[in-house]
Amino acid sequence: MALRLAKHWCLSAIRSPLQVISFPALQLHVSGTAMRADQKDFENAVTRVKLLKKDPGNEMKLKLYALYKQATEGPCNVPKPGVFNLINKAKWDAWNALGSLPKETARQNYVDLVSSLSSSSASSSQVKPGADKEQQGSENLVVTSENGITKIMLNRPTKKNAITTQMYQEIILALKAASKDDSTITVLTGNGDYYCSGNDLSNFTDVLSGEIEEKVKSIAILLRDFVDCFIDFPKPLIAVVNGPAVGISVTLLGLFDAVYASDRATFHTPFSHLGQSPEGCSSYIFPKMMGPAKAKEMLIFGKKLTAGEACARGLVTEVFPDSTFQTEVWTRLKAYSKLPPNAMRVSKQIIRNMEKEKLHAVNAEEVSVLQERWLSDECINAVMNFLSKRAKL
Ligand SMILES: CCCCC/C=C/CC(=O)SCCNC(=O)CCNC(=O)[C@H](O)C(C)(C)COP(=O)(O)OP(=O)(O)OC[C@H]1O[C@@H](n2cnc3c(N)ncnc32)[C@H](O)[C@@H]1OP(=O)(O)O
């Protein structure tokens, strides 16, 4: 079975130096340890390591791997791999060499090491507090902050703004920065004719033979962290849906405080077609928002909604004609950005706090179900069909 899956998923796998030894994944949630709250620096370092622009080289990656394992699991306690299992043996040797180094020290060393690497390979999406018309970000994610509004724009128009793993990470960082900057409201939008075509289906293709489960686990953790950021985002968060929206870009809308859509936009969650299942807390929010019958029509049967239909179901706040969409929406947003920020935050908080715990639990459950889906034949075949251009939505 494992071999068969490996064959499927490895279609376009190229052994780049970065892939030879994969970065230690964000395994904090999956391992079920209750380390989240008091290990923020460590968690941030684990995220930052994935954003390094320059490959730090295998020697450095082995050091990071060893410190990560020591910090999360303690001294090496697994059998030594055979001599022919070169990569795993190198990893084992690096971990084992740390002997009985205490977990706390390993954690600190890991954070220090990542800081030293990050300073020469700065992460991309941070907006400085107080910045006026500050523009940061990578090519695929443009973050600007002006007149009290931080705008996070998906900028991959030729790929319909499909979200790559790098973009998930950058959006996490952009949201974290926006939650602390001096803007009043935060906006997510897309560049080009699409708002977003959902998860970039090639996120699933760079899996190395024998590492499928590890890769799927790290994607699951990334997804969970990503959705957590939306659940916890403290300021008003507004979606400016400039065109069609697919998959995760639709489900997440339930976590926004306002959704403004062009009348050109459509809303499509083809999870069954893709052998997948709902995420973004939509399995909980959608039935509450539009009633179970309408929610199931979208989430189980993949019915695509027009903007008007989405508005009637409560998913969209207001629909604007495409010809005046940008002008009308941004005029509205500029006015909102002048409202007292603390009052808006407190109002959001009081509404969100009623549900926060539940939302985190739903997110965890959805991700755990998805993790199994991603390994299913139904999902593998659907993704393969898309990538080999045999199918489209
Ligand atoms: C951390 C990971 C978390 C995972 C979370 C899971 C989320 C679930 C989802 O989001 S499910 C939704 C996934 N999305 C899709 O299935 C959409 C697939 N795309 C399409 O069906 C079509 O491209 C379209 C209907 C969106 C647009 O069709 P159109 O004919 O107008 O345009 P093209 O097909 O020619 O697209 C232009 C190029 O963009 C590439 N592309 C579009 N969407 C994606 C995508 N989601 N992933 C990867 N690539 C995408 C498309 O392949 C074209 O590329 P090319 O020009 O190189 O051929």
Residue with CA nearest ligand 1 atom 38:
159
Assess if residue 359 is contained within a domain.
yes
| Pocket of ligand 1 contains residue 171 by CB under 6 Å | no
Tell whether 181 and 257 lie within a shared domain.
Answer: yes
Tell whether 196 and 341 lie within a shared domain.
Answer: yes
- Tens of pLDDT, residue by residue over 116-165, are 787 655 444 444 444 445 556 679 999 999 999 999 999 999 999 999 99
Read off the CATH number of the domain in which 377 is found: 3.90.226.10
- Ligand 1 centroid, distance to 209 Cα (angstroms): 25
Assess if residue 204 is contained within a domain.
yes
| Residues in Cβ contact with 317 at an 8 Å cutoff, skipping those fewer than 6 apart | 258, 259, 260, 311
β 318-320/258-262 pair status: parallel
- Ligand 1 centroid, distance to 270 Cα (angstroms): 12
- Tens of pLDDT, residue by residue over 325-361, are 999 999 999 999 999 999 999 999 999 999 999 999 9
200 CA closest ligand 1 atom index: 47
| Residues in Cβ contact with 373 at an 8 Å cutoff, skipping those fewer than 6 apart | 275, 276, 277, 379
| Pocket of ligand 1 contains residue 197 by CB under 6 Å | yes
Tell whether 355 and 212 lie within a shared domain.
Answer: yes
Task: List the domain range (segments joined by +) for residue 176.
Answer: 141-391
pLDDT at 90: 78
Number of domains in the chain: 2
Tell whether 68 and 198 lie within a shared domain.
Answer: no
Residue with CA nearest ligand 1 atom 50:
159
Judge contact between 10 and 208, C-beta under 8 A. Answer: yes
Least confident of 181-190, 264-273, 374-383: 374-383
Tell whether 238 and 352 lie within a shared domain.
Answer: yes
Would the ipTM clear 0.90, i.e. be above it?
yes
Assess if residue 254 is contained within a domain.
yes
User: How far is 147 from 164, CA to CA, in rounded Å?
Assistant: 29
CA dist list (Å): 192 to 49, 136, 153, 179, 308: 30, 19, 10, 26, 21
pLDDT confidence bin for 52, thresholds 50/70/90: confident
